[in-house]
Amino acid sequence: MRKYWFIGASALLALTLAACGDQEREATAKEEKTEEVADVEQEAKTEVKEEAATEQTITYLGEDYVLPAQVNNIVAASLESMEDAAILGVKPVGVLEIAGEIPGYLAKELEGASLVGDKFAPNNESILALDPDVILGSSKHGEDVVSSLNKIQTMIPYSHISTNWKENLRLLGQLTGKDAEAENIITDYDAKASEAKGKIQESLKDKSVLVVRIRQGSMCVYPAGVYLNPVIYEDLGVTIPEVITKTEAQAELSLEALAEINPDYIFLQFETSENTDNATALDDLLNNPIFKSVEAAKNNHVFVNAVDPLAQGGTAWSKVKFLDAAIEDLLK
């Protein structure tokens, strides 16, 4: 009897073990299938995500611009964006020309870029041939130019207003993956300006400073937030002359008005290509008796082309270069 019981128990145990083995195999198979399904679903989601990410939206100065997800070909159809590209180490595929070539002061950094017309009339055919992912135009472009460029690819109107320089540089940094480099340039500039501000405010107490640009043979001044002025009046804290506070756009300044203002320091910018019909305008001004009578001229405080005369003023390149020059000249 005991023998039969033992045989029965052994058989039952074998059946139980077999059942357990089957359950384990089924559980393992089910788990593997679940993981396989999860992997397939994840791959499908990734593929959908990759397919969907063909575009990106960039926000700049309160406006949204839709661009390709990957920006490779940048056409810099403004001198402002060209200057920022130069200081940030960005290589646009297309840039503007002056007298048939890349502007000399940016030629080294932008070497190899194709020419796409001048700042007044970018060449649509040349830009189209470069298959741009984005066009960095200018906020000075007229509606006809804006419309034409947007038919080729999204055109972002790069601001020419100096007080927007940080937003400009950050935009280019975002487009090119150079966000950190852009922030470093901004941080270094702010630190240098802050360090010099107190010294210059003390040194130039009750003194006046003017930035004058000769264009078409005439002296021109700009509002406090335009051209190179923010470096002097905002970043270095020099008192804004009344003539500047009353200026709303580029305005001519007569010799008589200059004599009345009688500035202590003058930063005088003269570019030959902006004075084609008045090639001797700079020498004529410097030798004029009225000009010689102002305090800046009498004290040798007239600084001609402290930065390259083609510098646009409202860019990181212009501000960095002019800040160094202004600190050196104003603290002599």
CB contact set of 71 (below 8 Å; sequence gap of 6+): 133, 134, 175, 176
């107490």: which residue's tokens? 205
What does pTM read for this prediction?
A: 0.82
pLDDT of residue 332: 84
pLDDT of residue 1: 47
pLDDT at residue 37 tops 70: no
Task: Answer yes or no: are the C-beta atoms of 92 and 82 closer than 8 Å.
Answer: yes
Task: Answer yes or no: are the C-beta atoms of 233 and 222 closer than 8 Å.
Answer: no
Across-strand partners of 210?
266
For helices 179-203 and 79-88, the axis angle rounded to 10 degrees is: 100
Which is more confident, 161 or 136? Answer: 136
How many residues are recorded in the chain? 332
pLDDT at residue 44 tops 90: no
pLDDT of residue 53: 73
Tell me the pLDDT band of 136, cut-offs 50, 70 and 90: very high
Per cent of the chain over pLDDT 70 is 84
Task: Answer yes or no: are the C-beta atoms of 22 and 38 closer than 8 Å.
Answer: no
Question: What's the number of CA atoms in the CB half-sphere (13 Å) around residue 142?
Answer: 5
AA identity, residue 103: P
pLDDT of residue 15: 42
- Measured from the Cβ of residue 332, the count of other Cβ atoms closer than 10 Å reads 9
Order the strands of the 209-215 sheet from edge to edge.
251-252, 218-221, 209-215, 265-270, 302-304
Which is more confident, 101 or 42? Answer: 101
Q: Where are the beta strands (DSSP E) in the chain?
A: 55-60, 63-68, 74-76, 94-95, 114-115, 134-138, 155-158, 209-215, 218-221, 251-252, 265-270, 302-304
Spatial separation of the C-alpha atoms in residues 214 and 280, rounded to whole Å? 11
- Max distance between CA atoms of the chain, in angstroms, equals 139
Chain centroid offset of residue 229 CA: 18
Do the bridges between strand 134-138 and strand 74-76 make them parallel or antiparallel, or are there none, so unpaired?
parallel
Mean pLDDT score, 155-169: 95
């100096």: which residue's tokens? 162
pLDDT at residue 102 tops 90: yes
Q: Is 323 exposed, middle or buried (0-12, 13-18, 19+ CB in 10 A)?
A: buried
Spatial separation of the C-alpha atoms in residues 219 and 64, rounded to whole Å? 38
Chain centroid offset of residue 23 CA: 66
Domains of the chain from N-terminus onward:
56-180 (3.40.50.1980), 197-330 (3.40.50.1980)
pLDDT at residue 19 tops 80: no
232: which DSSP letter? Answer: I
Tell me the pLDDT band of 164, cut-offs 50, 70 and 90: very high
pLDDT of residue 47: 52
